[in-house]
A and B are shown apart, each in its own frame.
Chain A
Amino acid sequence: MTQDGNDMTAAKREWPLWEVFIRGQHGMSHRHVGSLHAADAAMAMKNARDVYTRRYEGVSIWVVPSVQITASNPSDKGPMFDPADDKTYRHPTFFDIPDDVGAM
């Protein structure tokens, strides 16, 4: 695997896949919007603009080679996320504060 994630040992000439992230106008974080094919980063950026922002959906674009993303495994869902189940004290609503105390 080369540094930008294209598997050049494969004989296939297909343009590699890129994931596209866009930040909208309202100051939120970049959000994944989809993917596309492109030969290189510059072309991925151009295509992302054409495919995903035709209606002013964003003010900033990130493109990342899909093979560079490490995703959690669905079968690890239990061990990964269950520990949050019994820690409800991490939420402010766990604590009853008397009304007399005022806003908190």
Chain B
Amino acid sequence: MYAQMIKSEASQDDPEKLAAFQARIDRGEKIEPKDWMPEGYRKTLIRQIGQHAHSEIVGQLPEGNWVTRAPTLERKAILLAKVQDEAGHGLYLYCAAETLGISRDEMTEMLLDGRMKYSSIFNYPTLTWADMGAVGWLVDGAAIMNQVPLQRTSYGPYARAMVRICKEESFHQRQGFDVMMKMCQGSEAQKRMAQDALNRFWFPSLMMFGPSDKDSKHSAQSMKWRIKMNTNDELRQKFVDQTVPQAEYLGLTVPDPDLTWNEETGHYDFTEPDWAEFMEVLAGNGPCNRDRMEARNRAWDEGAWVREGLMAHATKQRAVSVAAE
């Protein structure tokens, strides 16, 4: 899940209008940009879609790290295509957020000065090629869990962005699993690398779904508005249930000694991630937070002359064509 701990805003709107708005959502109608909406709905959505967009963009960094070092030309091309898709996901989402009355540059500036966040998962390093397998398999896998139901979210532009994203996401997960399969069929050293990648990415992946339901204060309003479709624990459980058999197929061990199949519930029982670590990473103290923010800031600053130059050129061309008329 690329949006974690989204604070939902209370609305101070006219109760009658609020009730009519809620009724529209309950009827399953889509809310469109020009429709009336509560201020809280608008603000919560900007925060959520913005954080989701930032995650797509920052999420390119740990994988971009391996584009030049992928083991074969084919793997390089595949990884490049995957990373390019993530750039596209970021763009679709920024555009969806912009329909709510905020500009992409404003959102970017809020990311760069720390007012907006991105998913905690991208603050972990990608140390070996096997990490490219683990990221596609687990991180994109967790993202899919969250994004598939969001295709039915109440806000039209967000739902439509999700439809496009979901179409592309399955390629990401499968290419990751494919990397893992190759590693697991390889030498002992390669198998160890695959196991090591799973060891490092398992709990951070579980954190992607956000804190446990008993600690997530903002879910109820967002679920009423249908901008959050499932609780954090529901999605996390679904992810574990789906992923454990895949790990078994690979011959890998999930790094949780208490992981057991619960005959009664029909689900796996598992250990929750270390929430203190999660809060630390969100607070900016994860292994790569500083690196990621430095990289984004550098890209923004060093790209300024390109953005300005192209705008100046466009303005000049326009003046020339007006003069010629």
Residues of B within 8 A of A36 (CB): 91, 95
Contact B88 A15 (CB under 8 A): no
Contact A54 B313, CB 8 Å, known A14-B104, A36-B95: no
Binary interface encoding of chain A residues 22-62 relative to chain B, with 1 for a CB under 8 A from any of its CBs, else 0: 00000000000111110110010000001100110000000
B34 within 8 A of partner (CB): yes
Residues 252 to 278 of chain B near chain A (Cβ within 8 Å): none
- What's the Cα separation between A4 and B311 when bound, in Å? 13
- What's the Cα separation between A11 and B69 when bound, in Å? 43
Binary interface encoding of chain B residues 85-111 relative to chain A, with 1 for a CB under 8 A from any of its CBs, else 0: 100100110010010000111000000
B318 within 8 A of partner (CB): yes
Partner of A39, one of B32, B103, B104, B310: B310
B74 within 8 A of partner (CB): no
- What's the Cα separation between A50 and B91 when bound, in Å? 11
Closest to A35 in B: B95
Residues of A within 8 A of B322 (CB): 2-3
Residues of B within 8 A of A6 (CB): 314-315, 318
Partner of B311, one of A3, A13, A54, A74: A13
B115 within 8 A of partner (CB): no
Smallest beta-carbon distance B303→chain A, Å: 12
- What's the Cα separation between A51 and B247 when bound, in Å? 34
Q: How many residues of B contact A (CB 8 A)?
A: 29
Binary interface encoding of chain B residues 144-168 relative to chain A, with 1 for a CB under 8 A from any of its CBs, else 0: 0000000000000000110010001
Residues of B within 8 A of A8 (CB): 315
Interface of B is mostly: helix
Smallest beta-carbon distance B315→chain A, Å: 7
Q: How many residues of A contact B (CB 8 A)?
A: 25
A88 within 8 A of partner (CB): no
Contact A4 B318, CB 8 Å, known A43-B310, A74-B35: yes
Residues of B within 8 A of A71 (CB): 34
- What's the Cα separation between A34 and B95 when bound, in Å? 8
B307 within 8 A of partner (CB): yes
Residues of B within 8 A of A33 (CB): 164
Contact B314 A40 (CB under 8 A): yes
B246 within 8 A of partner (CB): no
- What's the Cα separation between A3 and B310 when bound, in Å? 18
Smallest beta-carbon distance B301→chain A, Å: 14
Residues of B within 8 A of A4 (CB): 318
- What's the Cα separation between A33 and B169 when bound, in Å? 18
A63 within 8 A of partner (CB): no
Residues of A within 8 A of B11 (CB): none
Residues of A within 8 A of B242 (CB): none
B84 within 8 A of partner (CB): yes
Residues of B within 8 A of A50 (CB): 84, 88
- What's the Cα separation between A62 and B81 when bound, in Å? 24
Closest to B321 in A: A3
- What's the Cα separation between A37 and B92 when bound, in Å? 11
Contact B164 A34 (CB under 8 A): yes
Chain A CB within 10 Å, residue with most, of B95, B103, B322: B95
Closest to A40 in B: B314
Contact A15 B318, CB 8 Å, known A54-B85, A54-B88: no
22 contacts between A and B (CB under 8 A): A6-B314, A12-B105, A13-B307, A14-B103, A15-B311, A33-B164, A34-B92, A34-B164, A35-B98, A36-B91, A36-B95, A39-B310, A39-B314, A40-B317, A43-B310, A43-B314, A50-B84, A51-B88, A51-B92, A54-B81, A54-B88, A74-B36
Q: With A39-B311, A74-B34 given, can you name 17 additional A-B contacts, CB distance below 8 Å?
A: A2-B322, A12-B103, A12-B105, A13-B307, A14-B103, A15-B307, A17-B95, A34-B95, A34-B160, A34-B161, A34-B164, A36-B91, A40-B313, A43-B314, A50-B84, A54-B85, A71-B34
The 7 closest A-B pairs by CB, nearest first: A39-B310, A40-B314, A39-B314, A35-B95, A14-B105, A74-B35, A74-B34
